Structure 1
């Protein structure tokens, strides 16, 4: 049975991929038009610069008094080369793709941030930048010119083939091998290699050349680009410092002191699980910080009560992203708003309404609410079902916190750390480093986000404060905060009289992390491969124009889940889908009579659809073994990664089912209030848990 079920799941994945229709080449070309902006143009003999930079230095752009640039955007069109008709030409998708690309490249460049685009939805009358994208047989061309006398067009081109079903191969191979053989490193490598091979084939290489070249590209392209990326290095440093901090706190008696303090309240299995859940709700400002902090801090206590590592990683993972995604004071909200607020004019709304629109979407993030409720319900009732029930029974009856033969992301040598001999446990030796981490991280976010340069009235607004969180977010504040926490933990160790043991305690936690870091890097690498193959564009284009208005939020939820599952990134999914949703949902809703007026009806469907994408991306992330946050949850909980995904997925699917059955369907087809939908979803999950769930015998 253990082999039959995984094989059945893999078979369903393969059949589903085979049955998927092929998306139209024109739609796929329109979605990927922004990539042409990165093509280089020779501006003078021997001097080249990317097209996007040329655009922002053109007569259609001007410097803003406060810094950054303003660009006037006029015409954007998309067409097929003569004789290749038959595909729908989507000018709107192309326009939004060009706008997204300009903003993305400007944000990554020097001196062009922020970028204000006038005409991002409706073209300016004259004097603006014009783009014409033409797709041909094996090529894609972009012509750029400014609508002013004497302006000469600039043309760039690239070899291009529309993404097809082969773009699904990397995640499909990785997931299939991970499920069947429980070897995540091998599975991820094969997924990356298969993707690199098809990238080579798309470039025109022979099969032999693609195999050899693809193998080399795994290392010299995909690994190296992730290895030298500053953001990735900060994330690795953050994880290293946090785990080292926990090791030092443990040896210095801090964790034991904290456990004794918490144990007075969390004196049972149930209370310990609830305490872990509540701690996850408290650390709401960032999902990475939540994952590493809660998992590594609560693990010794959950181990004491024989709570399985699968259960701990589920509580950690299923709390972190949902609470950060819902919080209006997190590193998420400004990013989420930035992905759709510039499209709001297509719905007749000003871009300044972005935060107001986000607040309206919150009730429609059904999956986030129901997942948080599900975690609390499981913790409070002590009931489990499916593979999680088996894991909990094993842990309680045998004391095995991971399955026999499983491979934890952090070895037992690293987690089985006792307080140094002669050291008296003191909770402050854990509380002070953890508090230092939180305070320094938040201060770094505020500093990097420019909070200290704002006046009080500017800062204490939703737009001002969340803008600071967005501009200051990233892995650098986490890196600095975790380093500060480690230093304070080391000082606590010196005070405890174990100064010489501090480096050894830190190293003991980290020495078995090589496999975990390899998996984390490979998760990033497979995301890069999927980007090159156009996996997300392929899945997005399948939505096409074949939707009915009431069905749109549900399908967008599922598409977002599919894209996040395949790419392992909820943020990438949001940035790809949300710019496409506003205009599509509003135009469909305006004619669907979901409200009293066409404007209200269009806005309602738009708000539902944005909420569906936001929560669907998190759902797919929870089910994906190649998601970095899923990997980090396994690391912080010292769980077997595949077992974590396998035991979490049924609960995620239950919350997904409740979101659709009690949320999106009733809201769109019957006009049910989303709050009533959330109540109905909570009741449905409660019914399922009490009918099918069983209590695990308490530890003896």
Structure 2
């Protein structure tokens, strides 16, 4: 079946913009994504209803079947979600989450401490953003609930530590992917950056969005700087309304489960530690196997570069559930309660799984209408070199916002940025590549069709669209700071000057937010 290409047409923007605008206006994510998917398929098939139905069936089946076999990449992530939901619910039913909250209450005495603990855990758990959002959310939620932190604020903390930390950490699934991608790009273009890892390390301080998103997050947590929709959610949380009850229970919550009164802190930390260690071990092992098959020597960085993230998350979650069951049997929980908790936990993750499937589907459709290629084509040859880091940041942000994927944006934009640098000013190579990385994370943070945004909502037990709307003002603040930073970096070629300017700006933003807060 021949599909129509829109790589040279602004019409390629219709599917993502339609889905995103509908999601924001209607606050209903699944119908909005569905409309975007159908619009894209109709465009690809020139509104031939028979061909559109066939292509829709192929798109849906492709989420589960690939090259004649199971699409294990997607299936492992979905199974990880379901198993983690079952594990979380069983921990809750065993009373271990409540025991941890009681234990933490004796040591964490304020709302600020609860938020700081969540942020610290988000920074420490850096091996993968999916893993970060869901696991840290599961651990932190009992504590933040106890201190009446809104689920929207928890989702913001999770999302603003997950991707920003992963994108600047070389020993993470993100870092390994970026290192491999950039290493190949630069080698193919004859650019000598002193080695793949060294190049990545040089780019870390140039990732302004990641750095200043973390700084602003710390200030928001420390000073309680709540603005716009977030302020409304925090006010309601002080009255005990942690999320909007009129919209039902968010994904990942299990409000109907009874809790045992003999839970233990070990019943929480045992499964979580097992999950972390097992996942990391499987990531290294699967990467090592790939290196061995390719005849390459083992290295930790090489293992993370070649790891199978979905496979590792799935196996880690199975290990975590197994240990949870051991604690439940040791605690002598009734079999009926165990079964009820496992089923309820798995079911609680289904809304998140549905949204994720729809997001993957529209991501594929957006790739077929070639939205990213159109956006990039509008940039080439149109601007002076000194403005390129700033413009690439904006374009990467819009591409990630429209497509819902930062990794996909990396794949689309990094080769273009490298070619533009080689053709104009090679001294701007690393700033331009860094601007793409930063812009992709920014767009991903703002997009309601982003999988990482979806999973941050799930980990926090927050309604998805509430997380998107409450995080957006903070993301835009950091984006504005980063935009100025990339303009200064492009014009001065001085990283120190750009960082100083960004630091002054973020200080002014924090001071302004504190001043506004003092007037409430």
TM-score bracket, shorter-length normalisation = over 0.9
Aligned positions, number: 510
CA contact (8 A) 1:446 1:452 kept: no
- Partner Cα separation in structure 1 for residue 189 and residue 8 of structure 2: 30
**CA gap 1:453/1:580 in 2 versus in 1, 3 angstroms:** closer
Match for residue 621 of structure 1?
Answer: 444
- Partner Cα separation in structure 2 for residue 395 and residue 406 of structure 1: 16
Instruction: Give the structure with higher Rg (CA).
Output: 1
CA contact (8 A) 2:127 2:172 kept: yes
Match for residue 640 of structure 1?
Answer: 463
- Partner Cα separation in structure 2 for residue 333 and residue 515 of structure 1: 29
Match for residue 487 of structure 2?
Answer: 665
Q: Give the number of the structure whose residues are more often strand, by fraction.
A: 1
**CA gap 1:161/1:630 in 2 versus in 1, 3 angstroms:** closer
- Partner Cα separation in structure 1 for residue 188 and residue 315 of structure 2: 41
**Residue 64 (structure 2) pairs with residue 223 (structure 1):** no
- Partner Cα separation in structure 1 for residue 84 and residue 175 of structure 2: 25
Q: 1:492 aligns with which of 324, 327, 330?
A: 327
SS in structure 1 at match of 2:21: helix
Match for residue 63 of structure 1?
Answer: none
Match for residue 19 of structure 2?
Answer: 174
**CA gap 1:582/1:685 in 2 versus in 1, 3 angstroms:** same
- Once the 2 structures are TM-superposed, how far is the Cα of residue 682 of structure 1 from its aligned partner? 3.7
Q: Give the number of the structure whose residues are more often helix, by fraction.
A: 2
**CA gap 1:450/1:180 in 2 versus in 1, 3 angstroms:** same
CA contact (8 A) 2:397 2:442 kept: yes
CA contact (8 A) 1:437 1:485 kept: yes
CA contact (8 A) 1:337 1:355 kept: yes
- Partner Cα separation in structure 2 for residue 530 and residue 287 of structure 1: 23
SS in structure 2 at match of 1:450: helix
Match for residue 186 of structure 1?
Answer: 31
**CA gap 1:224/1:316 in 2 versus in 1, 3 angstroms:** same
Q: 1:467 aligns with which of 302, 317, 320?
A: 302
- Partner Cα separation in structure 1 for residue 453 and residue 446 of structure 2: 8
CA contact (8 A) 1:442 1:477 kept: yes
- Once the 2 structures are TM-superposed, how far is the Cα of residue 504 of structure 1 from its aligned partner? 1.2
**Residue 14 (structure 2) pairs with residue 164 (structure 1):** no
Q: 1:419 aligns with which of 259, 273, 296?
A: 259
CA contact (8 A) 1:564 1:621 kept: yes
**Residue 68 (structure 2) pairs with residue 246 (structure 1):** no
- Structure 1, unmatched stretches of 5+, are 1-38, 40-138, 140-157, 202-206, 590-601
Q: 2:169 aligns with which of 308, 321, 327?
A: 327
Q: 1:199 aligns with which of 44, 49, 55?
A: 44
- Once the 2 structures are TM-superposed, how far is the Cα of residue 499 of structure 1 from its aligned partner? 4.7
- Once the 2 structures are TM-superposed, how far is the Cα of residue 265 of structure 1 from its aligned partner? 2.9
Tell me the C-alpha RMSD between the 2 structures. 2.5
- Once the 2 structures are TM-superposed, how far is the Cα of residue 415 of structure 1 from its aligned partner? 3.8
1:281-320 map, 5 Å: 281-320=123-162
- Structure 2, unmatched stretches of 5+, are 66-70
Q: Deviations over 1:456-515 (max 9, x none)?
A: x965xxxx3211112124210000001100010011011111051222112122324333
- Partner Cα separation in structure 1 for residue 431 and residue 74 of structure 2: 33
Match for residue 499 of structure 2?
Answer: 678
**CA gap 1:217/1:357 in 2 versus in 1, 3 angstroms:** same
- Once the 2 structures are TM-superposed, how far is the Cα of residue 346 of structure 1 from its aligned partner? 6.1
- Partner Cα separation in structure 2 for residue 452 and residue 555 of structure 1: 37
- Once the 2 structures are TM-superposed, how far is the Cα of residue 407 of structure 1 from its aligned partner? 4.7
CA contact (8 A) 1:168 1:535 kept: yes
CA contact (8 A) 2:92 2:98 kept: yes
CA contact (8 A) 2:193 2:199 kept: no
Q: 1:236 aligns with which of 78, 85, 91?
A: 78
Match for residue 68 of structure 2?
Answer: none
Q: Deviations over 1:318-339 (max 9, x none)?
A: 1101101101211112211222
- Once the 2 structures are TM-superposed, how far is the Cα of residue 254 of structure 1 from its aligned partner? 1.8
CA contact (8 A) 1:163 1:535 kept: no
Q: 1:630 aligns with which of 453, 459, 471?
A: 453
- Partner Cα separation in structure 1 for residue 291 and residue 7 of structure 2: 47
- Once the 2 structures are TM-superposed, how far is the Cα of residue 261 of structure 1 from its aligned partner? 2.8
CA contact (8 A) 1:292 1:636 kept: yes
TM-score normalised according to structure 2 size? 0.92
- Once the 2 structures are TM-superposed, how far is the Cα of residue 297 of structure 1 from its aligned partner? 1.8
1:581-620 map, 5 Å: 581-589=417-425, 602=426, 604-620=427-443
Q: 2:279 aligns with which of 431, 441, 445?
A: 441
Match for residue 346 of structure 2?
Answer: 510
- Once the 2 structures are TM-superposed, how far is the Cα of residue 217 of structure 1 from its aligned partner? 3.1
- Once the 2 structures are TM-superposed, how far is the Cα of residue 439 of structure 1 from its aligned partner? 0.8
- Partner Cα separation in structure 2 for residue 297 and residue 417 of structure 1: 17
CA contact (8 A) 2:393 2:435 kept: yes
